[in-house]
Amino acid sequence: MIRLFASALSLATLLAFAAPALADDDCGNVDRQGTCVDSKTLVWCNHGELETQVCPQGEVCAVHDAFNGAAGCIGTEQTDCGHVTEAGECAGEDRVVVWCDANLVRARRCDEGTICHWVDDEAWFDCVPTSLVAESSSPADDNLTDDNETLQEPDAEAGDPHKPGAEFTGSPVPAVEKGGAEPKADLASSGGAGCAGGPAGGGLFGLLTSAALLLRRRRQAAP
């Protein structure tokens, strides 16, 4: 009887230790350490259930020593840019543009009516009117030569840092401050329609190249 009880206890102990590992298998390749779907979206396995969190204002998702090598949301001032480049990327279902500025990660949520998208003139990701994105991606606009319609996807060789993220329905509710210009129909004549506008285009481009290199405007992050 004693031997049978000891065997049952050993089996129960083994199952107790094995249970978390078995539960993690239900999450695919995501474990309890978590992973960053994009620069604002954290996903981890919680007893066989996938949990999603959108990092709040001032924080980005990163694998950091503060979490003992796990992924988590951390203040932008506490981490370097990591994989985020100056050209940036889209996060949170294309509703947030994230980029590297002076070795710090910046983030801004796009206004209503705008979406994160590659801007060919600027060679970075920014917030642009959704109407222009739809026009630039339609087959009829593939051969556009008008300078006013220059939104294109980056070359495949350069790679596209865009990664789809989770919907903004996780906890906590995203609080990335909104910012940017109202949607404009004409990027060139309006001075841009991204999160902070763009430089003037047209025939003066060649004359202003030197000045533009020194005074090139930057996207502004939420304070």
Q: Where is 65: in which H helix or E strand?
A: none
Global model pTM greater than 0.85: no
21-63 pLDDT per residue, tens: 444 567 888 999 999 988 889 999 999 999 999 888 888 888 8
Question: pLDDT band at residue 222, thresholds of 50, 70 and 90?
Answer: low
Question: pLDDT band at residue 132, thresholds of 50, 70 and 90?
Answer: confident
Return the closest-CA partner of residue 187 out of 150, 220, 142, 153: 150
Q: Which residues contact 154 (CB under 8 A, 6 or more apart)?
A: 87, 118, 120, 160
Q: Where is 58: in which H helix or E strand?
A: none
Distance, in Å, from the CA atom of 82 to the CA atom of 75, rounded to the nearest integer, reads 13
Q: How far apart are the first and last CA of the chain?
A: 69
Taking residues 125-144, report their average pLDDT. Answer: 68
Coil/strand/helix, residue 25: helix
The percentage of residues in the chain with a pLDDT greater than 90, rounded to a whole number, is 18
**What DSSP assignment string belongs to 75-113?**
EGGGS--TT--TT-EEETTTTEEEEEETTEEEEEEEPTT
Domain definitions of the chain by residue range: 2-215
**Residue owning tokens 């840092």:** 161
Instruction: With a cut of 90, say whether residue 114 has pLDDT above it.
Output: yes
